[in-house]
Amino acid sequence: MKKSQIYRVEKSELSVLRERLSAPERTWVAEIEGKSIKTYADYAEQISKCMKFPSPVEHSIDAYEDWIRGLQWLDSDGYLLVIHDFEEFMKEDSTRWKVVGSFLDTVLPWWDGEVDKYVTSSDENGMPINVSKAKPFNVILVD
């Protein structure tokens, strides 16, 4: 499996990259308009809708990181988040780079393999079994 990553592209490059990254069947594609997101609360509201989080996350980046590392309710084989007009995305909010850093430090490593270490269950004999698997999670930041 190819490693998940963040791509920063011009609008003219988006369609080819989006097609390539969403090519595996059952890839969940979420798109956010960066111009309309001024604060972390705006982002939290939008990402909650796009990823269908079971509860709101606007008051806690920890809750956000928990839900973005769950996503089993989407029943997908991978995830692609596109943030349009990234230059305008949370432009005046210092949390902007905390969100990007969260992808780099927490979300992408989780979906690249940490999920396989930590998400387990037990079979009928009480033996641990893996109930999840690594999946691609890519982010496209569009200028």
Structure tokens at 79: 């995830």
The confidence score (pLDDT) of residue 133 equals 84
47 inside domain: yes
For residue 122, the model assigns a pLDDT of 67
Domain count of the chain? 1
For residue 106, is it within any domain?
A: yes
pLDDT tens, position by position, 17-58: 999 999 877 999 999 999 999 999 999 999 999 999 999 898
State which residues form the domain around 94. Answer: 6-142
Residue 1 lies in a domain: no
The helix/strand count (H/E) of the chain reads as: 6, 6
CATH of the domain at 13: 3.30.370.10
* Global pTM value: 0.89
Tell me: pLDDT of 69 over 80: yes
pLDDT in tens, 92-133: 998 899 899 999 999 999 999 999 887 766 677 776 665 568
Residue 13 lies in a domain: yes
Assigned token pair, 143: 């200028």
